[in-house]
Chains A and B, each alone.
Chain A
Amino acid sequence: MARLFEYQAKQILKEKGVKVPRGGVAHSPEEVRQIATHLNSPVVLKAQVWITGRAEKGGILFAQTPEEAEQSARQLFGRKIGRFIVEEILVEEKLDIAQEFFAGLIIDDAAKKPVLVFSSVGGTGIEEIAKKNPDKIIRHPIKISSGLKEYEVRNLLRRHSFRGKLLVKLASTLAKLYEIARQVEARSLEVNPLALTQKGELVAVDCHLAVDDYAVFRHPELSIEIAREFDRPPTLLEKIAFQVEKDDYRGTFYFLQMQEDFSPEEMIIGFQGAGGGGSMMSMDAVLAQGFKLANYCDTSGNPPASKVYRAARIILSQPFLKGYFASGSGVASQEQYHSARGLVKAFLEENLTIPAVIRLGGNYEKVAIQILQTYLTRIKGVVEGYGQADSAEFCAARLRELVQENNSQNHLVSPLVYPDLDRYTYRFATMTGEVLIDHQACENCRTKGCVKACLAEILQLDEAGRPVLKVSSEEARQGRCTECLACEIFCKFHEQDAIYIYLPIPGLAEYRQQIIAQQQAKAKEFE
C-alpha cells in the first residue's frame, strides 16, 4: 500500500468536507513559528513519520506560544524517530477535546468487501480497543455497488445509543470517509482519534491513509513516488531498483533492503529469490542457517536476463556481504537459462570474490546450471548451481559451508566500470540498453557462434562475415532483441570477446561512490 503522510491525507479529508484542525506543514523552525503565529492559539507539532506510537517516541510536542513552538521545532527537525529523519512538521491548533472515537475503513479478505470499523472509544490502536471493549466496536461490511448511505450509518449508531446532533454528525462524517476511501481506492483509511471538541465539532485529529498499489496509476493527483508498502521512506538503492522495474514491464523485480547499516563482522548475505512463495521459503531457509539478509528481492514472472543482471548488480552494491543466495520455488515454469546468463554477466563484471549458491530448479534447469559451471571459473568466488532435486534448506546449509571455506571474507563494493565503448563500431539499441559489436575483432572469428546463440534469431552475417541485425533497428529496440545476453557470453568465452551489451542502471554509479566512501570508513573502524 502506498502510504500518504498525515498532512496529505488530511488535505484530502478537508477537500471532501471532513473537518480537520487548522494548520500547515513546515520545513524549518522559522516556518513553524510563522504558522503558529498565524493560528494564534496553542499548537501541537507533529513529526511527519510513519510509525506507530509516535507520541511515546517524542514525535509530538505541544507549545503555548509561537516562540516556544520554534524552540521545540529546533529539537524535532533532523531527529531520528524509528527509521525516519524528521524533515516535515505538521503544525496545528491544539483542540479542547470532549470525546474520542475511532473510525476506519479496511478491506476485509474474508468478507471480500470494504468494512467500516467504528468504535465509541478512540485514542489507542484498534487492536487494543477490540481487546478491552469488544462490545464498543461496530463492523459493517459495505456493498460496493450501492456504497454507504448516511441512514445506514444512523441505524447502526442508534443501536449503540447515539442520539441527536452527534448521531447526525457522525453518520455524515463516516459516510464521507467511505466515499473518500472509495474515490482514492484506499486499502485502508483510519481516523484515530475522531474527536468531538468542547465546541461540539467533529474533527479528524489524526489520519492514516494507504492507497492500493495497483490503483496508484489512476491517481496522479496523489503524487506517490513509489507504489509499494514500506514502513519507512524508500532508501536510495530501493529508488534505483524501482526505476529499473518501472522502465521494464517484462517479469517482476521487487527489491527492498532489510538492513542498511551492518558491520563487516555480521553473517550478512545478498538475497535474490524467484516467485513470492519460493522467495519467502528460501528466505526462511537462509535465516535458519544463522544468516542475516541485507535485502529481500524477487525476480520472477519470466524476466529477461538483462533484468536479472541489473538485480544482481543492485544487490552487489551493498557492502560487506559474505555470500550470495539465489533460490526460487525449485520447480519454476519459466526458462531458467535467462536467470543463469544474467547472473554470469553480473558476477563477471563484479569480479565476485564471495561464494554464491544459485538454486535454479525448473524448466531447462540443466542448461542453466551448466551455464553457471562453464562461465564462472575465472572469478575467485565459488558459484554452485542446484536444481529441482535440492531443497532450499540444503542449499542454505551449503552456502554456510562455502562462506566458512572462504574465511567469511566480505564483498567490497567497487566502482561501476564499463569497457571502452568507443571500440565497438557496430551498435544497435535494445529495449533497455545497447548491443555493441567490435566488427574489427570479428575478422578473427572462426565459428560465428553469436548468430547461432541468439535466442531471438535476429542476427545474420553481412558480406564480410560479421554479425549484423536481420530485423530493423526499430524492431530490435521495441523488443525483438530480448536481451538474452547469449551472444555476448558466447563470444566472450569461445571467440574474440567482441560483443558487449551495455545495460545502464541510472543512479547506481553515483550511489556506489557514496557507499565506497562509507565502506572505507567502516573497514578502518574494524581493523
Chain B
Amino acid sequence: MAILVDRETRVIIQGITGREGRVRARLMKDYGTQVVAGVTPGRGGEEVYGIPVFDSVVEALETRGPAEISVIFVPATLVKEAALEALAAGLKMCVLIPDRVPIYDLLEILEVATAKGAICLGPNTLGMVSPGQALLGMIGGRAERAREWFQPGQVGVCSRSGGMTSAISYYLTKAGLGQSSIVHVGGDAVVGLGLPEIAQYFQEDPQTEVIALFGEIGTTQEERVASLIQQGKVTKPVVAYLGGKAAKAGTRFSHAGAIIEGGRGSYESKRDSLEKAGVRVVDSIFDFPRVVGELLTKKK
C-alpha cells in the first residue's frame, strides 16, 4: 500500500530540463517511478533521460495520457505559475521542491488546490519515497543510495527536516525496520501537507503500523498531531523527536518555519502536548529503532 504514491502512480516533472530537474528525473526514473512526461515551456520535443518533454502540462497529458502528480523543479519565483498550470490541467497533487517560495504565492496555490480537491507537498521539500515502489523529488540523491537507505516495511516516517527524514529512515533500515512511506513535509512556515495531514494518511494506510515523526520548534504542526490523537483520529502509536530544545525565541534557525513567535511553537509546548497525547518523545535520533521496534513487537 503506502501513502500518496506507489508503483502505479503516473507522474510528470515540470522544469525537467533545468540542472536539478535533469538529475532528479534520472533519480526518480531509476528508482522505478512512472515518470510519463516532462514539461518546460519552449523546450517541447526534447527528451531528458528518455522522458519526452512538452511545452505545457495539458499537451503532456493529451499526448501521454493522464497523470496524478507533478513534481516541480522550477525556480522559486516561478513555482506559483507552474503549480497553477498543473492544477488547472487537473493534476491531483503537486510536489513543490524549491526553497524560498514567497508565502503569499504559496497561499494562492493552496487555495486553488483546495477548491479543486487537490493537495500539495512542500514547498522546500526533498520529496518522498514509498520504498520499493516510487520516489518523488530528490530524497536519497541517487537511486542506488535510496534503495540502500530505505526498505519497505511498517513504519511511516514524516519529518520537517529533509536530512532528518533520511537519517531516521536509514537508522530504522539498519535495525531491520522497513518503512511504508517516508515524507519530508518541507521546512517552511506554511506547508501544504503538514505533519498532521500526513499522520492521518498513515492512519488510513493498512501497511503502516507505527508513525515516526521529526518535529521542531515553530508552527503548530506538532500540537495539531497531538490534538488528532486526543480526538481519536490518529490511533496508531507515534514516536517523535523534537529539534530546537535550546533554541531561543524570536530567531529563525535555518528553516523558515523554525522560529518561536510570540511564545507559540516552543519546544516545551510541543513536547508537553505530544506527551499528554501519549506520544513517545525520544531524546536522540538513535532511540528511534529501539522504541519503534518495541511498539511493533507489542502489536504482534
Structural contact, A275 and B162, CB atoms closer than 8 A: yes
CA distance A329 to B167 in the complex (A): 6
Q: Which residues of B lie under 8 Å from residue A159 when comparing CB positions?
A: none
State whether the Cβ of B100 lies closer than 8 Å to any Cβ in chain A.
yes
Contact B163–A300 (Cβ < 8 Å): yes
Cβ–Cβ < 8 Å partners of A393 in chain B? 284, 286
Q: Which of A67-75, A278-286, A316-324, A344-352 forms contacts with chain B?
A: A278-286
SS class, residues of chain B in contact with chain A: loop
User: Are the CB atoms of B246 and A113 closer together than 8 Å?
Assistant: no
Q: Given A109-B194, A109-B219, A329-B167, decide whether A280 and B107 contact each other with a Cβ distance below 8 A.
A: no
Q: By CB atoms of chain B within 10 A, which of A145, A280, A331 has the most? A: A280
User: B258 to A330, Cβ gap below 8 A?
Assistant: no
Contact of A109 among B102, B161, B169, B221 (CB under 8 A): B221
Within 8 A of A (CB), among B158-204: 159-164, 166-167, 169-171, 187, 189-192, 194
| Given A125-B262, A331-B166, A391-B286: A280 touches B104 (CB 8 Å cut-off) | no
Residues in A neighbouring B241, C-beta threshold 8 A: 281
Interface 1/0s, chain B 242-270, versus A by CB < 8 A? 01111111111111111101110000000
CA distance in complex: A493, B268 (Å)? 50
Q: How many residues of B contact A (CB 8 A)?
A: 69
Looking at chain A's contact residues, is the secondary structure mostly helix, strand, loop, or mixed? mixed
> How distant is A87 from chain B, measured CB to nearest CB, in Å?
20
Task: List, in ascending order, chain B residues with CB within 8 A of A31's CB.
Answer: none
Residue of B at shortest CB range from A296? B253
Q: Which residues of A contact B187 (CB under 8 A)?
A: 276-277
Within 8 A of B (CB), among A257-298: 258, 273-281, 283-284, 287, 296, 298
By beta carbon, the residue of chain A nearest B184 is A277
Q: Is the CB of A284 within 8 A of B102?
A: no
Is residue B224 contacting chain A, with contact meaning CB distance below 8 A? yes
Who on chain A is nearest to B263 by CB? A127
**A258 / chain B contacts, CB cutoff of 8 Å:** 248
- Please determine whether B254 and A145 come into contact, CB atoms closer than 8 angstroms: no
- A391/B254 contact (C-beta < 8 A), A109-B194, A112-B107 known: no
Does A328 contact B163, Cβ atoms closer than 8 Å? Answer: yes
- B253–A215 touching, CB < 8 Å: no
Q: Which residues of B contact A361 (CB under 8 A)?
A: 167
Across the interface, which residues of B come within 8 angstroms of A110, CB to CB? 220, 224
Shortest Cβ distance from residue B152 to the other chain A in the assembled complex, whole angstroms = 18
Binds B, one of A90-98, A228-236, A448-456, A513-521: A228-236
Contacts of A228 in B (CB 8 A): 252
- Complex alpha-carbon distance, A400 and B77, angstroms: 44
Q: Are B159 and A277 neighbours in the complex by a CB distance under 8 Å?
A: yes
Contact across chains for A276 and B161 when beta carbons are under 8 A apart = yes
Question: Is the CB–CB distance between B102 and A218 below 8 Å?
Answer: yes
On chain A, the residues within 8 Å of B214 by CB distance are: 277
How far apart sit A113 and B142, CA to CA, in the bound complex (Å)? 36
Q: Which of B42-50, B52-60, B133-141 contacts A (4 or more CB under 8 A)?
A: B133-141
State which of A188, A229, A278, A391 has its C-beta within 8 Å of the C-beta of B163: A278
Nearest chain-A residue to B196 (Cβ)?
A: A110
Contact A331 B170, beta carbon cutoff 8 Å: yes
Decide yes or no whether B216 CB sits under 8 A from chain A.
yes
B111 and A298 form a contact (CB under 8 A): no
Task: Verify if A388 is at the interface (C-beta below 8 Å from B).
Answer: yes
Q: In the assembled complex, which residues on chain B have CB atoms less than 8 Å from the CB atom of A273?
A: 254
A215 touching B102 in the complex, CB below 8 Å, given contacts A109-B220, A228-B252: yes
Question: Are B170 and A388 neighbours in the complex by a CB distance under 8 Å?
Answer: yes
Q: How far is the CA of A276 from the CA of B284 in the complex (A)?
A: 16
Query: Whole-angstrom distance between the alpha carbons of A301 and B255 in the complex?
Result: 12
What 0/1 pattern do residues 98 to 119 of B give for CB contact below 8 A with A?
A: 0111111001101110000000
- List the B side residues contacting A231 at CB < 8 Å: 249-251
Determine the chain B residues whose CB is within 8 A of the CB of A182 once the complex forms.
104
- Residue numbers in A under 8 Å from B255 (CB-CB): 276-277
Residues in A whose Cβ lies below 8 Å from that of B244? 280, 283-284
Residues of A close to B250: CB separation below 8 A: 229, 231
Q: Are B243 and A212 in contact (CB under 8 A)?
A: no
B126 contacts the other chain (CB 8 A): yes
Task: Give residues of chain B (51-90) contacting chain A, Cβ–Cβ below 8 Å.
Answer: 76-77
Q: Given the known A-B contacts A214-B76, A283-B246, are A114 and B107 also in contact in the complex, defined by CB atoms under 8 Å?
A: yes
* Among candidates A109, A275, A284, residue contacting B246 with C-beta atoms closer than 8 Å: A284
Judging by beta carbons under 8 Å apart, are B102 and A107 in contact? Answer: no
With A107-B107, A107-B190, A109-B221 as known contacts, state yes or no: A185 contacts B102, CB within 8 Å.
yes
Bound CA span A144–B108, Å = 6
Contact of B126 among A256, A333, A392 (CB under 8 A): A333
Please give, as numbers and ranges, the residues of chain B lying within 8 Å of A283 by CB-CB distance. 244, 246-247, 253
The smallest beta-carbon distance between A480 and chain B, in angstroms, is 13
CA of A214 to CA of B138, assembled, Å: 22
**CB–CB B104/A144 < 8 A:** yes
Partner of B164, one of A143, A217, A281: A281
The interface residues of chain B lying within 8 Å CB-to-CB of A284 are 243-246
Is B285 an interface residue when CB atoms closer than 8 A count as contact? yes
Beta-carbon contacts of B125-157 to A below 8 Å, as 1s and 0s?
Answer: 010000000000011111001000100000000
Give the docked Cα–Cα distance between A218 and B111 (Å). 22
Q: Closest approach, in angstroms, between the C-beta of A221 and any C-beta of chain B?
A: 16
A244 within 8 A of B: no
Question: Which of A127, A215, A328 is in CB contact (< 8 Å) with B103?
Answer: A215
Report B-chain residues with C-beta under 8 Å of the C-beta of A214.
76, 100-103, 256
Q: Report chain B residues within 8 Å CB of A280.
A: 161, 216-217, 243-244, 247, 253-254, 258
Distance (whole angstroms) from the CB of A184 to the closest CB of chain B: 10
Contact A277 B170 (CB under 8 A): no
Q: Is the CB of B167 within 8 A of A331?
A: yes
* Distance in Å: Cβ of B113 to nearest Cβ of chain A: 10
Q: Is there contact, CB below 8 Å, between A363 and B104?
A: no
Which A residues lie within 8 Å of B217 (CB)? 280
CA distance A254 to B253 in the complex (A): 9
> Contact partner of B107 among A144, A254, A391, CB < 8 A?
A144
Known: A229-B251, A229-B259, A281-B285. Contact between A329 and B194, CB under 8 A? no
Q: Mark A101-125, 1 if CB is under 8 A from B, else 0.
A: 0000001011011100000000001
**In the complex, how many angstroms separate the beta carbon of B139 from the nearest chain A beta carbon?**
7
**Other A-B pairs beyond A213-B256, A328-B163, 15, CB < 8 Å:** A1-B252, A107-B189, A109-B194, A126-B262, A145-B112, A214-B100, A275-B163, A276-B161, A277-B161, A277-B164, A277-B255, A283-B253, A333-B141, A334-B141, A393-B284
28 A–B contacts, CB within 8 A, in A order? A109-B191, A110-B220, A114-B107, A127-B263, A144-B107, A145-B112, A185-B104, A212-B102, A212-B103, A213-B256, A214-B103, A218-B102, A231-B250, A273-B254, A276-B163, A277-B164, A277-B243, A277-B255, A283-B253, A284-B244, A300-B163, A329-B167, A330-B170, A331-B169, A332-B166, A333-B162, A333-B163, A393-B284
User: Which residues of B are in contact with A by a Cβ distance under 8 Å?
Assistant: 76-77, 99-104, 107-108, 110-112, 126, 138-142, 145, 149, 159-164, 166-167, 169-171, 187, 189-192, 194, 214, 216-217, 219-221, 224, 241, 243-259, 261-263, 284-286
Q: Which 5 pairs between the two chains have the least Cβ-Cβ distance?
A: A277-B161, A329-B163, A275-B163, A333-B141, A280-B243
Residues of A within 8 A of B (CB): 1, 107, 109-110, 112-114, 125-127, 143-145, 182, 185, 187-188, 212-215, 217-218, 228-231, 252, 254, 256, 258, 273-281, 283-284, 287, 296, 298, 300-301, 328-334, 361, 363, 388, 391-393
